[in-house]
Structure 1
Amino acid sequence: MPDKDQAVTSNRPKPEVRIVHLTGPVLDSLARGDLAGATATSPVPLTAYLTGSDRRRLWQRRSRQVAADPGSASWVTGIIWDQHQLLAVGTAGYHGPPDTSGMVEIGYAVDPSYRRRGYARAALESLLARAVKEPQVRTVRVTISPGNSASYRLAAQYGFVKVGEDWDDEDGLGIIYEIPADRL
């Protein structure tokens, strides 16, 4: 018998998404909570979810990161864009380009209005597909809070295994999972 998440999504067609990367000015507007300003310069229409308090901290971090390293813009968090619905349904990307050991860390969040429709899976698959194509990527990491069982179940289906824990002042305890890129 399929688990509850599979039962909900199995009758729906798999969403087709792409991760739309944003420019520094769009990140700056989102970091200020300026949805109108961000939408005016964004390659895709944006939604109010993207300027909520939890997303704003993310955009502030990514805005500073891209200002310091403009080349990281093509790696960091962007928009999960539903290609059929023409709709922004969440955020996904890497925490930055591969580090010196070839590790990239992924992150994704789906707007609560669009959860349980396969968007997290589609975003994860998109991120993993890019990681496989990038010759400098040797390891893919995801850090998941202990209470986020849905995200853990999803990562486990792709072969991620626990390698440790970490503490973040903003997010608290995180369980670190990794998979070698050559096993994807």
Structure 2
Amino acid sequence: MLQALLNGELAAARAATGVPLTDWFVSDDITWLWQMRLDQIAADRRAADWVACAAVAVPDETVVGVGGYHGPPDSAGMVELSYGVDPDCRRRGYARAMVRELLRRAAGEPDVSTVRASISPQNAASLATIAGFDFEHVGEQWDEVDGTEFLFERPAV
């Protein structure tokens, strides 16, 4: 499915998922993510179980976003959240639902001890999304794409 999305083959990707996808999934806004995730999986097959899961709205079963982690747990047991919502589906609680589900999964994984979120200080929506999930601001980092990011962590359980 990721290769179909990357190639702009929305019909093929829709057939692979069996649920409706919006045009956002093959737009320039997101195809960079599909390429990055395909490269990750090619380099480390374990990544396939951790990156780029579809977020499906219930009960209509429409894919409204993508969620996962930046990769499998590192040697210290840390995973970093990754989530995005189709702009046409935002402000409906989907991002918070994704974070809640990603935290639930992390809590059930024996190799995960810490969950991280890295968020641009200007990304008020993502900062609000993680509020209430007991994340602690632990520092900052420089990201080549996003610039300064605040780092937040919490125990997986």
**How do 1:34-113 and structure 2 match up within 5 A?**
34-113=9-88
1:167 aligns with 2:122: no
1:92: how far off? 0.7
State the 4+ residue runs in structure 1 displaced beyond 3 angstroms.
none
Deviates more, 1:34-43 or 1:154-163: 34-43
Give the aligned partner of residue 142 of structure 1. 117
**Aligned in 2, Cα 1:175/1:33: closer, same or farther, shift over 3 Å?**
farther
Identity %: 48
Deviates more, 1:59-68 or 1:95-104: 59-68
TM-score, scaled to structure 1 = 0.79
Aligned residues between the structures: 157
TM-score, scaled to structure 2 = 0.92
What stretches of structure 2 of length at least 5 have no aligned partner?
A: none
Q: What is the DSSP-based 3-state SS (H/G/I as helix, E as strand, rest coil) of the residue aligned with 1:157?
A: coil
Question: 1:126 aligned to 98, 101, 106, which one?
Answer: 101
Task: Kindly provide the CA deviation profile for residues 85-115 of structure 1, in whole angstroms up to 9, marking residues without a partner as x.
Answer: 1101111111111010000001111112111
Q: What is the DSSP-based 3-state SS (H/G/I as helix, E as strand, rest coil) of the residue aligned with 2:110?
A: coil
**Aligned in 2, Cα 1:37/1:145: closer, same or farther, shift over 3 Å?**
same
RMSD: 1.5
1:144: how far off? 0.8
